[in-house]
Amino acid sequence: MTTRAVLITGASAGIGKCFAEFYATKGYDLILTARRLDRLNDIASELSASHGIKCETITADLADPAAPKAIWADITARGLQVDVLVNNAGYGLNDHFVDYDWADHRDFIQIMVTAYAHLCRLALPAMLERKYGRIINVASLAGIAPGTLGNTMYGASKAFLIKMSESLSLETEGTGVHVTAVNPGFTRSEFHSTAGVQDTVDKMPSWMWMQAPDVVAETYDASEKGLAQIIPGRANRITASILRHFPPRLALSLSRRRSAMQDK
């Protein structure tokens, strides 16, 4: 039986790296992409040696609209196929909307929305033809929660991924292809320090946090079961359930108060 391969974007750190480690333990070959080729190569060497799997690395900046197609062309040129796509690359713009130039927002949308959709479109035809495939889109509990003061585009981008994944899950039902959005809450990884909000998130109570390997394991199980959406962690599921039943005005009011408290 041919070994299956997984393509992971944003694989050089955080949840993306945990996905790489997890799939390596399952015997999958890896195709890892991110901007930092040195980090990718280090991870690839470590996982190949530890698990006896093949690991390819591709450097790419998904802010470039041509990047998804270039990644796919590189994969094709190497004679590889993608059985699992993990769309994970991401970051945040934490200040207010007008504090950033439009170019910053344009790049954010390209990475967090357009590249995800483009890679799905590139992956799906061959998956449908083979009657097997898994697509995991890393969204967030922020896609369910009300808007925030600052980080204006983040929740909006994650809400898009949730809805897109739900629709693709319906479109691929019964084909052997599963599309799943994962909505993590606060997760221990490099994301918050890279985004410059570590001091803020350190004020959050410990019960709100999950470890990245636990998020990845729950996501894998949900993907294999063909679930369109997964919220890892009991506390996060309770939070999401409460948020869905809040009147919109009250939810925004609470979000305003929470944002003000975090700024103190």
Cβ atoms of residues 62 and 9 within 8 Å? yes
C-alpha dihedral sign at 188, 32, 138, 182: negative
Report the distance separating Cα 75 and Cα 98, nearest Å: 39
Report the distance separating Cα 164 and Cα 160, nearest Å: 6
> In Å, how far from its chain's centre is CA 138?
2
Report the distance separating Cα 6 and Cα 85, nearest Å: 6
Q: Name the catalytic one among 23, 28, 116, 154.
A: 154
Which pairing describes strands 29-34 and 5-9: parallel, antiparallel, or unpaired?
parallel
Buried-exposed string 208-247: b where 16+ CB fall within 10 A, e elsewhere: eebebeebbebbbebbeebbbbbbbbebbeebbeeeeeee
Cβ atoms of residues 27 and 51 within 8 Å? yes
Which pairing describes strands 84-87 and 55-59: parallel, antiparallel, or unpaired?
unpaired
- State which amino acid sits at residue 243: L
User: Quick check: is 154 catalytic?
Assistant: yes
What amino acid positions are annotated as catalytic residues? 154
